[in-house]
């Protein structure tokens, strides 16, 4: 436990250092040396984060889920995807939004002891579902950034931070990559969920399932339109935001209905 806490603290420190380096890069002329340093520091942070989080996600016989390690998992996925996109594109500047949140969330499992044990089968489904929601959330944030950047570019009103973001073409490609990855996770989440549904109405899952399937269909329509008709730009951003709104409804809407049914 001490080693886990120490790893989480180190990961948080490295995330903050990567954020500082990015902020310095935004204010000054970017150089390849600073970019490489940011990537190296953030990679160390992600590896330490992974080690610290893995110790809080299972106890050897069950998967443990709570508010703290769920948020930490979301931040880890965001940081990892950001590093992966840097394999063929310079997208590290987006870390100025992700790394500070990751620095905070990596510490949450230490301070919040609210984990609930789940069997590995059900826990795996929940893990895939959280991953799908978080990746699509990142894609939505990317879509919003892209939309704002594109509109400001047209009116020549780019702020310092927006100027430091990757070019519009790179932002768009990153958005598509995130949607594709999230779509795969969402598909597996829906498929794996079938095995845990006994009575959809009795388990009060009809609302969640309906909106999740609707979100999946909107993402599917967008990806097909992207391939067949070349949908891009603001249309890509709008479809991503609209589909994620349905995903949010699948959770928030269900919780609201359950509250009114069982106050």
pLDDT at 128: 85
Q: Decide which of 122 and 224 is more confident.
A: 224
Q: Decide which of 200 and 55 is more confident.
A: 55
Identify the band that residue 45 occupies on the pLDDT scale cut at 50, 70 and 90: very high
Identify the band that residue 125 occupies on the pLDDT scale cut at 50, 70 and 90: confident
Q: Is the pLDDT of residue 178 over 80?
A: yes
As a whole number, mean pLDDT of residues 182-207 equals: 70
Find residue 64's DSSP bridge partners.
Answer: 117
Most confident of 15-29, 35-49, 102-116, 161-175: 35-49
Q: Report the alpha-carbon distance of residue 59 to residue 223 in Å, rounded.
A: 39
| Structure tokens, 180 | 């594709």
- Pair 235, 218: CB distance under 8 Å: no
Backbone conformation region of residue 58, classed left if phi is above 0, alpha if psi is from -120 to 50, else beta: beta
- Pair 106, 49: CB distance under 8 Å: yes
Q: Is the pLDDT of residue 255 over 50?
A: no
pLDDT at 254: 43
| Structure tokens, 96 | 């100025």
Q: Which segment of 18-27, 56-65, 196-205 scores lowest on mean pLDDT? A: 196-205
Q: Is the pLDDT of residue 133 over 90?
A: no
Q: Considering the chain, what is the average pLDDT of its residues?
A: 81
The secondary structure of 136-199 as a DSSP string is HHHHHHHHHHHHHHHHHHHHT---HHHHHSPPHHHHHHHHHHHHHHHHHHHHHHHHHHGGG-S-
Q: Which residues fall within 8 angstroms of residue 25, CB to CB, at 6 or more apart?
A: 31, 34, 35, 38, 93, 164
Identify the band that residue 11 occupies on the pLDDT scale cut at 50, 70 and 90: very high
Percent over 70 (pLDDT), the chain: 86
Burial class (CB in 10 A: 0-12, 13-18, 19+), 33: exposed
Q: Is the pLDDT of residue 32 over 70?
A: no
Q: Is the pLDDT of residue 197 over 60?
A: no
Handedness of CA 217, 147, 80, 65 (dihedral sign): negative
SS3 content of the chain, % helix, strand, coil (to 5): 80, 5, 15
pTM of the model: 0.77
Helix (H, G, I), strand (E, B) or coil at 64: strand
């Amino acid at each position: 436990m001490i080693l886990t806490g120490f790893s989480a603290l180190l990961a948080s420190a490295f995330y903050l250092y990567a954020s500082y380096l990015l902020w310095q890069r935004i204010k000054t002329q970017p150089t390849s040396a600073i970019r490489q340093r940011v990537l190296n520091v953030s990679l160390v942070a992600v590896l330490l984060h992974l080690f610290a989080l893995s110790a809080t996600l299972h106890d050897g016989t069950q998967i443990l889920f709570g508010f703290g390690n769920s948020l930490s998992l979301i931040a880890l996925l965001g940081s990892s995807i950001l590093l992966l996109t840097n394999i063929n594109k310079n997208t590290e500047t987006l870390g100025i939004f992700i790394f500070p949140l990751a620095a905070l969330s990596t510490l949450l499992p230490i301070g919040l002891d609210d984990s609930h044990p789940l069997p590995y089968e059900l826990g795996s489904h929940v893990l895939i579902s959280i991953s799908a929601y978080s990746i699509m959330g990142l894609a939505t944030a990317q879509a919003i950034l892209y939309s704002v950047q594109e509109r400001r570019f047209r009116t020549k009103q780019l702020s310092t931070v927006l100027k430091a973001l990757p070019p519009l073409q790179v932002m768009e490609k990153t958005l598509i990559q995130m949607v594709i990855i999230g779509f795969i996770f969402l598909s597996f989440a829906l498929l794996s969920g079938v095995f845990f549904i006994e009575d959809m109405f009795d388990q009060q899952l009809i609302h969640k399932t309906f909106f999740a399937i609707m979100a999946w269909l909107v993402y599917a329509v967008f990806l097909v339109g992207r391939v067949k008709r070349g949908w891009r730009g603001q249309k890509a951003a709008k479809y991503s935001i609209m589909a994620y709104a349905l995903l949010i409804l699948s959770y928030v809407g269900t919780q609201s209905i359950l509250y009114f049914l069982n106050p």
